[in-house]
Structure 1
Amino acid sequence: MDDSDGKIVRMKLSDQVFERLRELVASGELAAGDVVPSERVLMERFGVGRPAVREALQAMQSKGLITITHGGRSRVNALTAGIAFSQVDDIAKLLLSSEPSNVDHLKQVRHLLELGTVRIAAQKCRAADADDLVALIDKQRANLGSAEAFMKSDIAFHTRLALITGNPLIHSITEMMLTWLFEYHSSLLLWSGQEQKTLDEHVAIVNFLRANDDEGAVRAMDDHLNRANSRFTSSPAR
């Protein structure tokens, strides 16, 4: 590749092997669940040594493309939205902790996303979906008194709601976004007296979902998020 001075930069052998392997996955020659060829086969195919192959395979695993099993055969992973978003997890957490104002930006994104999500979910919600959400509310109620468990139950509720949309990108984004928010909001540990209100709002949202009332569901979610945002500060938890 060319750098800013126009000079040719030679790629490392391991990087070249990684690119070739990634192309095999992208083309479908190596499909989800397939066994990754042995190091010896890859060495012969690409004309490189074992160190380059091993480094490339480690890079493939770090990107979530394969799973290396010691003592067994490595396999190609199914490519999912969750794998894609997990690649930005560390960077996102660093961004939030280094610049607290980004938490407010993320809250704004959450508000926009969840209003759109609940509208789609209300249109598609089935009785089984609503029953699952009620069960999650019951689990959250059982976690009263434990801030961490209560927050995890809250994430589970909103993530299950996103699943109703049938859009894996919405589902994965929602789960990661809420995980980031809850990790970096120290004010979430100060929920005393507000837990029951949260549960009541979740029940109201589910009632609208069960009735396939998208307008009512959006209003209920908007009220829920506005109240939640009023409690939050931009101070990182750690």
Structure 2
Amino acid sequence: MDRVLEPIVRRKLSTEVFERLKTMITSGALKPGDQMPSERELMERFGVGRPAIREGMQALANLGLLTIQHGERARVTEPTPASLFGQVDDAAQILLSTSPAALDHLKEARIFLERGIVRQAAERAGASDIAALRAILAEQRAVLGDAETFIAADMRLHARIAAIPGNPIFAAAARSMLGWLRQYHTEMLIWTGKENLTLVEHEEIVEAIARADADAAETAMVRHLERSRALYVHQGA
């Protein structure tokens, strides 16, 4: 029988601490809301120093599994789709800032996602959802000419539509994409007078949702997003 060399890789102590603490959380030994043992307890339990404990716990916090506040014990956090997408915010911003192609890919992905979301929104929206969308439209109409506030209302409308289907992954993905795109939004919206066109397009989308017309809602959303693609421009463009 041939012997296969399988070297044992020595890992950093903080990596071992991270793995053990993660197992305590994923196994249910520690549940969301529970306090973590003190640093001293963990040092004694694992036989390591304070730096390894702190590095391991920070790695868990970076994954959204722990909340660390100064002067208090860390607490176990329940992972959510929002926290999951939040973990890639920095990486997404770096990718977008260094690659014009990545921005085009993101705009295309947004259209792909939102055309499906708006269909489900049209099929599932209740009276309170329609009222909320119309209220955001009224806010947006009231701030015509104020670019920053107008764009913020625009993002709230899209985020509210994404919340209607009741799938937290849809909502988290849509919010993240909106956040990643935000820094590339130009003021072309205002100085070309396209804010009024945006309002008309938003009204078409909302009214199609109100009629429970999934086909019309999808068509209106795609037309709106295809037209507004030009408003998001890479800094190097």
TM-score, scaled relative to structure 2: 0.90
Q: Which residue of 1 aligns with 2:70?
A: 70
Q: Which residue of 2 aligns with 1:52?
A: 52
Q: Does 1:80 align with 2:80?
A: yes
1:189 to 169, 187, 190: 187
Q: Which residue of 2 aligns with 1:17?
A: 17
- 1:126-145 to 2 correspondence within 5 Å? 126-145=126-145
Structure 1 residue 184 displacement after superposition: 2.2
| Separation in 1, partners of 2:6, 2:57 | 30
Q: Is the 8 A contact 2:125 2:164 kept in 1?
A: yes
- SS at 1:191's partner residue? helix
Structure 1 residue 168 displacement after superposition: 0.8
Q: Deviations over 1:151-170 (max 9, x none)?
A: 22111110110000111111
RMSD of aligned Cα (Å): 1.9
* Runs (5+) with no aligned partner, structure 2: none
| Separation in 2, partners of 1:63, 1:228 | 34
Q: Which residue of 1 aligns with 2:166?
A: 166
Structure 1 residue 190 displacement after superposition: 1.3
Q: Which residue of 2 aligns with 1:41?
A: 41
Q: Deviations over 1:66-113 (max 9, x none)?
A: 111222232111210111111111111111111112111111111111
- 1:104-119 to 2 correspondence within 5 Å? 104-119=104-119
Structure 1 residue 139 displacement after superposition: 2.0
Which has the larger displacement, 21-30 or 6-15? 6-15
Q: Is the 8 A contact 1:141 1:199 kept in 2?
A: yes
| Separation in 2, partners of 1:113, 1:38 | 43
Q: Which runs of 4+ in 1 moved over 6 A?
A: none
Structure 1 residue 46 displacement after superposition: 2.0
Q: Is the 8 A contact 2:181 2:232 kept in 1?
A: no
- SS at 2:109's partner residue? helix
Q: Deviations over 1:93-134 (max 9, x none)?
A: 111111112111111111111100000111110010111111
Q: Which residue of 1 aligns with 2:146?
A: 146
Q: Which residue of 2 aligns with 1:235?
A: 234
> Residue 235 of structure 1 aligns to which amino acid in structure 2?
H
| Separation in 2, partners of 1:37, 1:140 | 49
> Residue 234 of structure 2 aligns to which amino acid in structure 1?
S
Q: Is the 8 A contact 1:144 1:195 kept in 2?
A: yes
Q: Deviations over 1:157-215 (max 9, x none)?
A: 10110000111111111011111112124xx3111211111112111111111121111
Cα distance change on mapping 1:206 and 1:102 into 2, 3 Å: same
Q: Percent identity?
A: 47
Q: Which residue of 1 aligns with 2:175?
A: 175
* Runs (5+) with no aligned partner, structure 1: none
Structure 1 residue 54 displacement after superposition: 1.6
Structure 1 residue 237 displacement after superposition: 7.5
